[in-house]
Amino acid sequence: MMKLDDDQWRVLKLSAHGEQRLAAIHLIADRQLDTVESELLTTGLIEARDPLFNVSYVQHGSDAYMQGCCCVQYRRSLHAVVNAAWKAMNHLHAHAKGSTHQPRQAYSIRIDQHTVLIRVAFQASTGPTKLESSVILKKRQLSASHVRVVFRSILDDAGHPFDADSYVSDQYGWVDVELTDDDDGLVTYKGYAKAKYVLKPRQNDANLAELRTLLESVHLDDGESFVEDKDPIKLAEEVFRTSFHGFGLLFETILAAEDDVERVDATNTQ
């Protein structure tokens, strides 16, 4: 891999130049993969085996984030669980939930067999509000019994700039899938995600209702709606919780399509 002449990738910016752009994609994804071990420790997931689903609000200085973590065990092959997680992650980052809403722009670029770049932009049908996302996905096999998948959004792109007045998604997360050591055929699935929405300045725009409508079309099925609440933090929390839970449901739907699916109930593992 070529050595970059600058540190744009460190601030999650992609270059407009081909080789530097490709190198940055790999460096960003590899850095994200390298953080998984420490986050398994800080979240307490490192030793988790029992079913877990938790969403919380966190404050880092002036920045507010939502984060979620989960743990589930399956009596499945490692390949089936990893494949379902990879498909679900690709689908979630490229599609809106509402069947009547389509992205204004969407494309997926296969960098290599383990790395994908997904760019998507949604625009409200009732006004100028836009939501944009550019996300890198990458898989890494640590051993024959252990695989990790990460995603990391890009905050700036010299080659394909975000619109100056868009809400830009700032998010990252991972899935850790490992076959247990006790030869009982259980695969432990652990997931983590952290997100916030960055509002790039737009003059004379304080229309939170329009943003809510757009977020509903992206994250909810048709006919559903978020609670009417003018507090942006509460809205962000509801959006994140819905999206994090929705990913889990999508993952299990894909996993259930396989012939040998068998969910391990907590009562059977005690």
Between CA 44 and CA 42 the distance in angstroms is 6
Q: What is the pLDDT of residue 23?
A: 95
Q: Are 150 and 137 in contact (CB under 8 A)?
A: yes
SS3 state at 211: helix
Which CATH number is associated with domain 8-268?
3.30.530.20
Q: What is the pLDDT of residue 104?
A: 67
Q: Are 166 and 176 in contact (CB under 8 A)?
A: no
Q: What is the pLDDT of residue 270?
A: 46
Cα-based distances in Å from 227 to 206, 213, 234, 242:
18, 11, 9, 12
Q: Are 225 and 247 in contact (CB under 8 A)?
A: no
Q: What is the pLDDT of residue 131?
A: 80
Q: What is the pLDDT of residue 233?
A: 67
Between CA 244 and CA 248 the distance in angstroms is 7
Residue type present at position 215: L
Q: Are 105 and 112 in contact (CB under 8 A)?
A: no
- Tens-binned pLDDT, residue by residue, of the chain (270 aa): 445 456 889 999 999 998 999 999 999 999 999 999 999 999 999 999 899 999 988 877 777 788 999 999 999 999 999 999 999 999 888 765 544 445 567 789 999 999 999 998 877 666 677 788 899 999 999 999 999 999 999 999 999 999 887 888 889 999 999 998 766 789 999 999 998 865 544 444 455 666 666 666 565 555 555 556 556 667 677 778 888 888 999 999 999 986 554 454 444 444
Q: What is the pLDDT of residue 197?
A: 60
Domain ranges of the chain: 8-268
Between CA 270 and CA 244 the distance in angstroms is 27
**In degrees, to the nearest 5, what angle opens at C-alpha 162 toward C-alphas 93 and 104?**
55
Place of tokens 């994609």: 25
DSSP class of residue 88?
A: H
Structure tokens at 68: 């979620």
Q: Are 71 and 51 in contact (CB under 8 A)?
A: yes
Q: What is the pLDDT of residue 196?
A: 81
